[in-house]
Amino acid sequence: MNIEGVDSFRRRVARHAALADAARLRIVDLLTLGDFSPTELQAELGMPSNLLSHHLRTLEDAGLATRSRSEADRRRSYIRLAAGALDDLVPGAEHGAHRVLFVCTHNSARSQLAAALWQQVSNIPSTSAGTHPADRIARGAIEVARRHGLDLADLPPRTLNQVAGEGDFIVTVCDKAHEELPGLGGIHWSVPDPLRPGTKEAFDKAFNDISRRINDLAPRITAA
């Protein structure tokens, strides 16, 4: 998958490299609060001026910090966090998709929950399927969805062949389905099967795991 443009990736590498030093990370932490003169940073960090100058040049070269002259004492400068400095630290858009297809074995819990959660955070359509569909959606899945204010669509579990279409971005949410379908493409989330223990806690844990992953993935998928 094409993660992002080469230039964007290189900028992100440079910024991560600059922040890998503890002193520079501390400087950036301070700059998220406000602007500092080099003298103020030196006092805050207890660092020799020549070493501080090296760290500031590195941060400026990486696009993390900028410098401006004081309007009062023109001999003084202030260091500030560059606009959007921290935006490039996370990966960019990952993939274009017409639809997101969540797959598990029985299409009775994890994939159904994932498809419903996706619809809350993205305008890109979603659906779900199973490699060996059950007769109905699991009661535990319906109940955990209701506990979190989410209604599952009144759809019977369906097979992957019935649902899959061209342009689908596929997410397997079940180890068995993922290992049963080598070369399927897409991505895999190893979410433990809540049906095995069958407890409220197991369904809550699966729901929370899927919800977190959905929120992380949604900004990285664009409409094709």
**What's the per-residue H, E or C state across 141-207?**
HHHHHHHCCCCCCCCCCCEHHHHCCCCEEEEECCHHHHHHCCCCCCEECCCCCCCCCCCHHHHHHHH
Question: Which residue range(s) make up the domain with 61?
Answer: 6-88
Question: Which is it for strands 187-188 and 126-130: parallel, antiparallel or unpaired?
Answer: unpaired
Average model confidence (pLDDT) for the chain? 91
Q: What is the pLDDT of residues 78-129, one digit of tens each?
A: 999 998 888 778 676 567 899 999 999 999 999 999 999 999 999 999 999 9
Tell me what pLDDT residue 1 has.
42
Q: Is the model more confident about 74 or about 56? A: 56
Tell me if 199 is assigned to some domain: yes
Of 88, 107, 132, the residue at which a domain comes to its end is: 88
Q: Which residue has the higher pLDDT, 60 or 182?
A: 60
Question: 104 and 72, same structural domain?
Answer: no
Residues 216 and 109 both lie in one domain = yes
- Cα-based angle 42, 43, 47 (whole degrees, multiple of 5): 45
Please compute Rg for the chain using Cα positions.
24
Could you tell me the pTM of the whole model? 0.73
Given a cut of 80, is residue 142 above it in pLDDT? yes
Residue at which a domain ends, from 55, 88, 121: 88
Last residue of a domain, one of 88, 103, 119: 88
- 196 and 166 fall within a common domain: yes
Say whether both 110 and 183 belong to one domain.
Answer: yes
Q: How far apart are CA 47 and CA 192, in angstroms?
A: 49
